[in-house]
Amino acid sequence: MKNIILTLVALLAITSCRTADKFATLNKKAKAEYNTPIRPGYEGRNPYWNKFSNKFMYAPAFDFKEVEGAVKYRYTVTQNVKENAKKWSFTEKAPNLSLAPIWQQIEVGNVILTIEALDKAGKSIATVGERKFYRDTPFTGPYHGAVRGYKESALLALLYIHNMPAIQNWKKGPTPDMSYELNTYPCKIISATISVEVMLARLCPELKEDALKIAENAAQFLINESRPEGDPLAFFPPTYYGNYVTSGAKRNKGKTMAMEALSAANAFLDLYDATGKKEYFDRAMNITDTYARIQAEDGSFPIKMDFATGEPVNEVRALLHPMLEYLQRLQQQYGIKKYDKMFALSEKWMQEGALKSFDMTGQFEDGTVLGLQPYENLTNCTAAPYATYLLGKENTTKSELQDAIDLVLFCEDQFVFWDTPVKKYGIIKVNHTPCVTEQYKYMVPIDHSACNVANAWLSLYEETGDELAFTKAKALIDMLTIMQNPNTGKISTFWRNFLVGTDWINCTLLSVQTLIRMDELINKKK
């Protein structure tokens, strides 16, 4: 027995050393990567995108202009301005270059960057600009491990949704229970309900009959509420339903978000896959036909339209990453080439618009884009899925790979938090970390956002074999299990203490899909 115990201790010690060595290597690689700025404006590929950014993990560069008579520029980063100030400084030939020369030296915390113009004698002749920001904590593994198996966690989450009274209500017929107030967003929430139940039917055969009954009644509701054949938006289910819209009720009455019907189309395809009933496949194709008909010649779609007339309600155009992912599914899963023209136009629109400007603006059904300046409300919810799409192509080019990497690193830089800072009086911010916040206008950690970025990293790993990408993804996915209520199976939408809010079913859907993907990938790696 003594020999067995000694052997086990020795094995544990060896495993611990190997883990430490692994993370020492990964942390060193991550640290080196943080010295490279992400799509800096001085390269000329895109404008400076970080005008409204408040935190950085990767060495930033800012759009400060040259001063007449200046020979060079002094960059000074100051921390703890009031007492025991720490300073880091260097000089450069231009005022808009990155902080790479001192980035590794700057400690985590709030800092102020000041750039001064210097004459031939090295004397300051003007302050070019000043910028306050948070120098964020870099990736430093290992992080918390998963507290249960990924598939087990996924099943618990599915069962939690399935057993919600508002979900069980669908067994009575095709009418939503509006006590779950987020049913006010049918395309997003009721479509997610269908997909959740389809997944449950596949993973829990004993519940298949119940799950598919719920899914089919929910699908019938979407069909009943859709625009009729012959209408401008034929077969589109509504973005908004009833008088329960939680925000922007007056603004959104009678309106619809152009990209939202894709959620329903995906749900109908999921239901077709589960039941083999062609009516659901046909419904998805009818929705796709409407998209093909209303697409503008330049490849764009309005962001929002009148639900009855199909007329745009403003001049803003939709970002098309949901369309690209959907058409990619049609091609790769079903071999459908009918929509290749729409696919090519949509891809061109995103390349020449969002990618060229690097303006990954948020477009959410419960918010507004009106009055926003470029880059004012950046989000991972555009950048990460777009990266996943690029990495999911059958033949990703070198330039597409680099674009995807830029998008993923942008998400980490702006929205991932590997740790939370200790604020004044030692009070720690209430986020659970590691986490991913949603958008500039709502810097709250959300499970859906964690999954967006984790999936992009997993796709990068599958494309390149980059273990650091896999390890970063794993750290976020492990947090899904930690944030899951072990008694109910609920995975919280909001990863912040004291924040009360209704959990979004579409967010849980992506969490479950991500957990299942991770489970399958781990099994492949064994």
Report the CATH number at residue 234.
1.50.10.10
Asked if residues 428 and 422 have their Cβ atoms less than 8 Å apart, the reply is yes
The pLDDT, as a whole number, for residue 2 is 61
Do 79 and 211 share a domain, yes or no?
Answer: no
Do 100 and 206 share a domain, yes or no?
Answer: no
pLDDT digits (tens, 9 = 90+) for 499-518: 667 899 999 999 999 999 99
Do 164 and 269 share a domain, yes or no?
Answer: yes
CA–CA dist 501, 489 (Å, integer):
17
| Tokens of residue 210, six digits | 């119940």
| Tokens of residue 418, six digits | 């590997």
For residue 322, being part of any structural domain is answered with yes
Phi, then psi, of 278 in degrees rounded to 5: -65, -20
Do 114 and 155 share a domain, yes or no?
Answer: no
For residue 20, being part of any structural domain is answered with no
Do 306 and 259 share a domain, yes or no?
Answer: yes
The pLDDT, as a whole number, for residue 12 is 46
For residue 281, being part of any structural domain is answered with yes
Do 115 and 217 share a domain, yes or no?
Answer: no
Phi, then psi, of 493 in degrees rounded to 5: -70, -40
For helices 150-162 and 467-482, what crossing angle results, to 10°? 40
DSSP 3-state assignment of 162?
helix
Do 127 and 229 share a domain, yes or no?
Answer: no
Do 111 and 169 share a domain, yes or no?
Answer: no
Pairing between strand 435-439 and 86-92? unpaired
Q: For 199-236, what is the HEC assignment?
A: HHHHHCHHHHHHHHHHHHHHHHHHHHHCCCCCCCCCCC
Strand ranges (DSSP E) for 68-206?
72-79, 86-92, 109-118, 124-135
pLDDT digits (tens, 9 = 90+) for 371-413: 889 999 999 999 999 999 999 999 999 999 999 999 999 999 9
- pTM for the predicted model, two decimal places: 0.93
Residue type, 145: G
Q: Structurally, how many domains does the chain consist of?
A: 2
Listed residue (378, 397, 368) closest to 46, CA to CA:
378
Segments in the chain below pLDDT 50? 9-13, 15, 425-427
Residues spanned by the domain of 92: 41-56+58-135
Q: For 340-362, what is the HEC assignment?
A: HHHHHHHHHHHHHHHHHHCCCEC
CA–CA dist 154, 511 (Å, integer):
8
Choosing from 87, 107, 135, the residue where a domain stops is 135
Choosing from 75, 110, 135, the residue where a domain stops is 135
Report the CATH number at residue 49.
2.60.40
Do 90 and 183 share a domain, yes or no?
Answer: no
Choosing from 135, 168, 198, the residue where a domain stops is 135
Asked if residues 135 and 111 have their Cβ atoms less than 8 Å apart, the reply is yes
For residue 98, being part of any structural domain is answered with yes
Asked if residues 88 and 77 have their Cβ atoms less than 8 Å apart, the reply is yes
For residue 3, being part of any structural domain is answered with no
Asked if residues 470 and 457 have their Cβ atoms less than 8 Å apart, the reply is yes
Do 154 and 130 share a domain, yes or no?
Answer: no
Residue type, 275: T
Strand ranges (DSSP E) for 372-434?
416-417
Would you say the C-alpha torsion 245, 250, 251, 255 has a positive or negative sign? positive
Do 368 and 465 share a domain, yes or no?
Answer: yes
The pLDDT, as a whole number, for residue 251 is 75
Asked if residues 39 and 94 have their Cβ atoms less than 8 Å apart, the reply is no
The pLDDT, as a whole number, for residue 249 is 61
Asked if residues 79 and 107 have their Cβ atoms less than 8 Å apart, the reply is yes
Q: List b or e across 484-494, with b for residues whose CB sees 16 or more CB atoms inside 10 angstroms.
A: beeeebbbbbb
Listed residue (55, 53, 64, 56) closest to 376, CA to CA:
53
For residue 5, being part of any structural domain is answered with no
CA–CA dist 424, 446 (Å, integer):
25
For residue 8, being part of any structural domain is answered with no
Phi, then psi, of 340 in degrees rounded to 5: -60, -35
For residue 232, being part of any structural domain is answered with yes
Do 166 and 208 share a domain, yes or no?
Answer: yes
